[in-house]
Structure 1
Amino acid sequence: MTDQSESTGRWAEVFGPRYATVTLILCLGVALLAFNVFLTSTALPTAVQELNGVALISWALTLFLVFAIMGGAGAALLKQLLGARVALLSAAAVFMAGSLVCAGASNMETVLIGRILQGLGEGVVAAICFALIPELFPSRLVPKVFGMQAVVWAVAAFGGPLGAGILTEFISWRAAFLVSVPLAIIFAAMVWRVVPNSKGAPQDNADFPGVRLLMVGSGIMLVALASLSLPLQAAGLLVGAMALLSGMVVLDRRARTRLMPPDAFWPGSVVGSGLWVVLLMPVAGAMSAVYLVLLLQQLWGYGPTLAGATAAVLSVAWSLSAIAVANVRRIETRRALIISGPMLLGVGLLAVLAGLLNDQVALVVAGQLSVGAGFGMANGYLSLTLMEAARSGERDRVSAMVPTTQSAGNAIGAALAGVAANLAGYAQAVSVTAIEQAIIPVFVLAASMAALGFVAAVRMTRLMGASPQSAAVTP
């Protein structure tokens, strides 16, 4: 751990001659994902109508997410085998190919193929960019890099839907997919010039982790299917998903070529407890995000633009809070920020629910601000702590696990929200009262996930203060 005199840096240093190009590369990597998410979510409804593929619209997101998680899970191994530069260039090429396939599709099945390629490429790009942060920046600048990434997400949250709406309305939905292509080309050109192609230490008897990647993809697919199923079927699918994902973690620990650090999700280590926080916070946040825009339209008669703007308050709070805490020096304060993340998330979710039930717009907005602040204040220092706590030779795996685990959390949260809402009769609810009663379990379950994240965060910060031996317990 660096001492306090070296534990912070100036914003000017991030944009100075030494780091400006690297900062731009990492922001472009995030932009590929962020803008793709918001552009496609706006353009897809028009695409499926033109291609007569309304029944397949949910699979356009599901397949993208599943393959993004699979790509992220294998990213550390790709970086080790190919080197960061070649792995990023290859992933960017796959992502561009997927964007071109989507833009040129003549039927919905072709769009789904393109989305698979986009997800696979973007999963690798996001994970490797994350893993490069501790390699290319000193620890004092890492929180500021996360702050810049939060700004990219905020810009994408507002500019993505607006840009996609204009392109779709005045040109074509295909143009919204093509926007990603020049971004990917610029990203690839800068990677070629700047990113080193260092490889990890070669492993004897290395094997391709095909079975484990298949278990990850299948597990997340079952979670996604659960949100579309009847309650009893959904419960069975979720149990199957838990079995597959848990089995993959156990199998990976015994493998010669591992995808994850050996203490992943083991509560006796900083990394293990921290990854639970990384997983549970998106689970909780996604459960609210899935229904909030729709609820604002159903309960209060908001139009899509006003409902979307209300939901996007979260992104603004996330960005501003990430920037506000980027200069924190004291280790104790950083620990407090990590703990405050899931706490603010849980409080914000309950505030949003209270606002919806009592017709209080201000309370909903305040809740969204609290949720966004929870993510923004905790995310940077949570990630930095995981990177610093990684054992020698495990930093790539730990770093790549963070965005992959966040994606998995979003998928699991969306599925659990669907199961909770279906069990409560949300799909059949017609009156305002019935809708309000049906959404209570969704937000209560989301707040419960945030509470579990709080417990994991407390455990993690206590281990941070323990001796190195106790903070690195291996299962």
Structure 2
Amino acid sequence: MSDATTTGGLFSRHYRLVTIGAISLIFVAAFENLAVTTVMPVISAELDGAALYAVAFAAPLAVSVLGMVVAGTWADRAGPRHPLYASVALFVLGLFVAGTATTMEAVVAGRLVHGLGGGAMTVSLYVVVARVYPPALQPRIFGLFAAAWVIPALVGPFIAGVLGETVGWRWVFLGVAVLSVFAAVMVVPAMRSMREPDAAPKPPWSAPRILWSLLLAVAILGLSLSTELDGIAVFALGGVALVVTVIALRPLIPPRTLLGGRGLPTVVLLRMLLAGGYVAAEVYLPYFLTGEFGLSPALAGLALTAAGVAWGVSSWLQGQFSDRLTTRTSLRIGTAGVSLAVGIVLLTAFLGLPAWVAIVGWAVSGAGMGLCYPRLSVLVLEYSAPGNQGFNSSALNIADAVGPAMALSFAGILFQSFDAFPAVFALGLLLTLGALTLSGRTGTPATAEAATGVSSR
């Protein structure tokens, strides 16, 4: 539990080890995300894996849901320490499998293991924030989490592009695995310094909830794999997978989330739509720049670099001015910025504008995400009591995974059907505009809502 009376900043003696350890893991995850997104067109070309391009991104997001649910329940019962250790181990194992793969199917398999660990790691870190930091410091630590993407954004895409063109793309995965081990070593003393959870009631292990998360992961995988089929079979399997996805998702998120209920449900749904639209555009942007303009992976990665830097800077700024910039204003400006950026990329693809328009325009998306993401994370914690911090944190991160996974699955279907980038970017714009319409419905957490974790409005 955090101690409200504790004074000092994030790097004061009381918080220093936890802050450094947590930021190190976020740094490694950020580097992996940006590097793999940059180099995936090279992997796809070398392993003849164009048909599995979207699946390589959707698969780890799908199985991350299972890791999130297990880690969330585990953390609520015994604290986040052991779930965090286990998640890092899976994260490293998955990177090693992908880095030694000889087929695109093996790359996807490694990404599955990596995604399972990554999902659990994210939820564990959220619970660390809730248990360690007082409310006044939470916007700042989430701001630093986003700012930890700045250096990976500056060097990650370029390094990945150079590696892909010289010694080989495998060293992107293997290099990140080595970095992950060093980050894990830093986390160990940080976790030892953290207090044990208090005597609040501990929820039992929920076998049904874990089974729902497993079914959800399988359904999303089925949706993404439907791109391998032809004709009506694509829509048949896709339709069934979509229905199962919605059914399996409902027990894993707050009630009325899919209906956009005011308060916590809207926070989770907004995150789902925003993440889906952003990731669908981001994943296909390097593919678009290398395929349509002939840019090298290193040059195409400049778009990710610009967005990553803007994300980190704007996230840091919102943390510094959290007492002046309201959450509602941050969400409205941020979602509008992401929608504008995706619209610019869509116009570039549709009208044949120069590549630099998309690269520069995509930086706006990062600035918008930097304003939104920390505030959504803080809102979830404000709606949470100690006994459901893990559930609500996992729900938010499930939204982070399910939104992009479903968006990438539909993007893959659109791309395979029309062989056109504008269709993919139009999907991303539709989703981000949906998030913009919800940005004023997140509400203000009240005492009763914070105790239950569910909005009454």
Q: Give the TM interval when normalised to the shorter protein.
A: 0.7 to 0.9
Q: Which runs of 5+ in 2 are unaligned?
A: none
| Counterpart residue number, 1:444 | 426
| Counterpart residue number, 1:371 | 365
Does 2:197 align with 1:198? yes
Q: Distance in 1 between matches of 2:347 and 2:42?
A: 34
SS at match of 2:441: helix
| Counterpart residue number, 2:397 | 403
Max Rg structure: 1
**Corresponding letter in the other structure for 1:279:** M
Q: CA 1:116–1:421 in 2, change beyond 3 Å: closer, same or farther? A: closer
Does 2:336 align with 1:343? yes
SS at match of 1:66: helix
| Counterpart residue number, 1:464 | 444
Q: CA 1:261–1:38 in 2, change beyond 3 Å: closer, same or farther? A: same
**Corresponding letter in the other structure for 1:448:** L
**Corresponding letter in the other structure for 1:96:** V
Q: CA 1:337–1:228 in 2, change beyond 3 Å: closer, same or farther? A: farther
Q: CA 1:95–1:446 in 2, change beyond 3 Å: closer, same or farther? A: closer
What displacement does 1:226 show?
4.0
Q: Distance in 2 between matches of 1:274 and 1:302?
A: 38
| Counterpart residue number, 1:145 | 141
**Corresponding letter in the other structure for 1:212:** W
Q: Distance in 1 between matches of 2:44 and 2:337?
A: 38
Q: Distance in 2 between matches of 1:391 and 1:265?
A: 22
- Answer whether contact 2:88 2:184 (CA < 8 A) is retained: yes
Q: Distance in 1 between matches of 2:416 and 2:84?
A: 40
Q: Distance in 2 between matches of 1:349 and 1:49?
A: 26
| Counterpart residue number, 2:151 | 155
SS at match of 2:320: coil
The share of aligned pairs that are identical, in percent, is 24
SS at match of 1:74: helix
**Corresponding letter in the other structure for 1:280:** L
| Counterpart residue number, 2:276 | 283
Does 2:62 align with 1:66? yes
Q: CA 1:108–1:344 in 2, change beyond 3 Å: closer, same or farther? A: closer
SS at match of 2:368: helix
**Corresponding letter in the other structure for 2:271:** V
Higher-RCO chain (CA-CA 8 Å, sequence separation at least 6):
2
Deviations for 1:199-242, whole angstroms, at most 9, x for unmatched residues?
87334585364421222112211331245555744443443233
| Counterpart residue number, 2:26 | 30
**Alignment map for 1:356-395 (pairs within 5 Å):** 356=349, 357=351, 359=353, 363-391=357-385, 393-395=387-389
Deviations for 1:179-203, whole angstroms, at most 9, x for unmatched residues?
2334333333333322245387334
- 342-351 or 199-208, larger mean C-alpha shift: 199-208
- 375-384 or 211-220, larger mean C-alpha shift: 211-220
Q: Distance in 1 between matches of 2:106 and 2:355?
A: 42
Q: CA 1:133–1:263 in 2, change beyond 3 Å: closer, same or farther? A: farther
| Counterpart residue number, 2:408 | 414
What displacement does 1:273 show?
0.5
| Counterpart residue number, 2:316 | 323
**Corresponding letter in the other structure for 1:272:** P
**Corresponding letter in the other structure for 1:394:** N
- Answer whether contact 1:80 1:201 (CA < 8 A) is retained: no
- Answer whether contact 1:350 1:447 (CA < 8 A) is retained: yes
Q: Which runs of 5+ in 1 are unaligned?
A: 1-5, 253-258, 428-437
Deviations for 1:385-424, whole angstroms, at most 9, x for unmatched residues?
121022452222112322332122222222222334455x
| Counterpart residue number, 2:286 | 293
Q: CA 1:84–1:226 in 2, change beyond 3 Å: closer, same or farther? A: same
**Corresponding letter in the other structure for 2:13:** P
What displacement does 1:15 show?
3.0
**Alignment map for 1:40-79 (pairs within 5 Å):** 40-41=36-37, 59-79=55-75
What displacement does 1:177 show?
2.8
Does 2:448 align with 1:454? no
**Corresponding letter in the other structure for 1:406:** D
